[in-house]
Structure 1
Amino acid sequence: MQPEKQPLWRSVLYPVIAFILVIGIWWGAVEFYQVPRYVMPSPADVWAHILDDYRTLWIGFQVTFKEFLIGFVLGAVSGFVMAVLMDTSKTVRGVLYPILIVSQAIPIIAISAALTIWLGFGLAPKLVIVALVVFFPVVVNVLDGLRSVDGDLLRLARSMGGTRWSIFRHVKMPATLTPLFSALKLSATFSVTGAVIAEWSASTSGGIGAYLMQANSRLNTSGTFAAIAYLALLGLVAFVLVILVEYLLTPWRNKPMVPRWSTRFWRK
C-alpha cells in the first residue's frame, strides 16, 4: 500500500508558511529587543542591501553556481563509476574502500590550501573541492544499492541469457537510483558549503563566498546576511534540480503508469 500523496498546493504552501514564520520571528526579535544593526540586521535591512548591490551579488551567484554545478556533476559521475568498479571487482573494493573511509577523516578545508598550491587559483581547485564533497556519499550509497540486489534475481537473469551489460542495465541500475538520489540530495546542500570553502582559499574570480568574506572583513552584517540569503537560494535551487532529475529518471515512483518516453531509457 502506497502512502497517500499530499496535494501540490500543500507542498508549496507549507514551505511558504515556514519561511514567513522565520522572517516574522527574526524581524520581531530585532525590533522588540532593539538589537543594533551592526549586530543583527532586520530582514528589511538585508533586502535593502540586496537591492543596492544586486548586480555584484547576482554576478557572484552565477560564478558560485557554475563552480557548484560542474563540480557536482564531476563528483556524482566519478563516484558512480567508482562504485560500479568496486562492485565488479572484490580486489578493487578491498583496496579502495579503506582509502575512501580514511580520506573522509581529513577536513576539506585542510586540503584546500594544498589544492590551491597544486592547481593554482583558477577554477580547477574549486571544482575538485566540490567534487570531493559529492564523491564519497555517492560511492557509498550506490555501492550499497548494487550489493543489495537479490542474488536469486541475478541468477535468474543469467539463466535467461542476460549479458553482463543487460543485467547491469535492467537489474542493477534501477536498484542504484534510490540510494543514488538520496546521496545527491544530501550532497546538493553540502557541496554549496564546499564551493564557499573553495572560494575562501582560491578565489580570483569573485563568487558569493568571496563576497561573504569581504563583507565579514568590513563588519558589514547586512552584506553578510545578503550573501547567506544567496547561498540559501543556491542550495534550494540545487535541491530542486536533483528532485527534478529524480522525477524524470524514476517516474514509476510517482505514477502507476510509466510515461512512454521513459521506457526507452531502459529498453534493450
Structure 2
Amino acid sequence: MHDLTENRSVLLKIFYPVAALVLVVVAWAFLVWFYEVPRYVMPSPSDVANHISEDWQTLVKGFGVTFLEFLLGFTLGAGTGFVFAVLMDMSRTVRGILYPILILSQAIPIIAISAALTIWLGFGLAPKLVIVALVVFFPVVVNVLDGLASVDKDVLNLVRSMGASKISTFRHVKLPATYSPLFSALKLSATFSVTGAVIAEWTASTSGGIGAYLLQANSRLNTAGTFSAITFLAALGIVSFLLVVAVEYLLTPWKSGHKARRWSRSYWQE
C-alpha cells in the first residue's frame, strides 16, 4: 500500500508540470490564432517547432556550448562559495573581512562585471565561467553560513566531550546541517546561472552558444529563431534544476524516505 501511494505521488509530480506545459502551449497557440498575430510579432508554437527542426544541428551545438559553460561555472561557483563559507565560519576575523566585500560585489550589476572581465580575460571560456560562478557564489556562501550557524551548540559540546575530532565533528554534525540551505541556494541559482551564461555570451562570445544564437536572431528580427533559442534556454534551466534535485535526492536520503539508500549507509556509519 505504501509503495502504491509513493508511486502515485511520483506520477503526480511528473503529470502536473507536463500538464502545465501543455496548457501554456495550447493557450499560446489559441491566442496567436484568435487575434491573428503576425508571425514577425509572435510566432505560433508550430512556427517555432518548424524552425527548431530546420536548424536543429545549430541549436543542439549551441545548447552543448552553453551547457558546458553553465556546468563548469556552476561547479566553480558552488565549490568556491562552499569553501569560503566554511572558512568564514571557522574564523570571525575572516568573516568580518570578507562578508562586506561579498555584499559589495553583489551591488555591482553582472553586465558591468562581464564587460570588465572580457577586457581582462579575453573572449574565451574564462570570463563566461567567472560570470556564471559569480551568480552562484553569493547565495551559496550566505545559505551555507546560515546552515553552519544553525547547528545546536549542545550537540557540538556533546560530540566534543565524546572525543570527536574537528574533522569528524564537521563531517557528521556540521556538514549535514548545510545540505538543506545549500541545495535551496543551488536550486535558485540553477536557473539564474543560465541567465548569467547568456549575458556572458552576449559580451564575450566567439564560440557560439544559445545566447549568441539568440542575439543573432534578435538582430535579424527572426522571432521564430528567437523563440527557438528561448525554448532551448528554458530546457537548459529545467535540466540544471533537475540535476540539482537529483544530487539532493542522493545526498539527503532522510528527506525523501524513511530509510537511507544502500549506497549511502556505509558513509553515515563510518
Find 1:259's aligned residue among 254, 261, 269. 261
1:138 positional shift:
0.2
1:8 positional shift:
1.1
SS, match of residue 62 in structure 2: helix
TM-score (norm 2): 0.96
Instruction: Report whether the alignment pairs 1:150 with 2:155.
Output: no
1:255 positional shift:
1.3
Whether contact under 8 Å (1:169, 1:266) holds in the other structure is no
Find 1:232's aligned residue among 231, 234, 258. 234
Q: Distance in 2 between matches of 1:134 and 1:264?
A: 31
Unaligned runs of 5+ in 2: none
Q: Distance in 2 between matches of 1:174 and 1:96?
A: 24
Find 1:101's aligned residue among 100, 103, 109. 103
Counterpart amino acid of residue 84 in structure 2: M
Report what 1:125 is aligned to. 127
| Aligned residue pairs, count | 265
Counterpart amino acid of residue 266 in structure 2: R
Identity in percent: 71
1:148-227 correspondence to structure 2 within 5 Å: 148-227=150-229
Find 1:19's aligned residue among 18, 21, 25. 21
Q: What are the superposed Cα offsets for residues 160-194 of structure 1, whole Å, 9 maximum, x if unpaired?
A: 00111000000000000000000000000000000
Structure 1 moving runs of 4+ over 4 Å: none
Aligned-pair RMSD on alpha carbons? 1.0
Counterpart amino acid of residue 79 in structure 1: G
Q: Which moved more, 1:4-13 or 1:102-111?
A: 4-13
Unaligned runs of 5+ in 1: none
Q: What are the superposed Cα offsets for residues 38-92 of structure 1, whole Å, 9 maximum, x if unpaired?
A: 0000000000000000000000000000000000000000000000000000000
Report what 1:82 is aligned to. 84
1:257 positional shift:
1.1
SS, match of residue 94 in structure 1: helix
Q: What are the superposed Cα offsets for residues 185-228 of structure 1, whole Å, 9 maximum, x if unpaired?
A: 00000000000000000000000000000000000000000000
Report what 1:135 is aligned to. 137
Q: What are the superposed Cα offsets for residues 75-124 of structure 1, whole Å, 9 maximum, x if unpaired?
A: 00000000000000000001101111111011111110110011010000
1:29 positional shift:
0.5
Whichever structure has more helix as a proportion of its residues is 2
SS, match of residue 256 in structure 1: coil
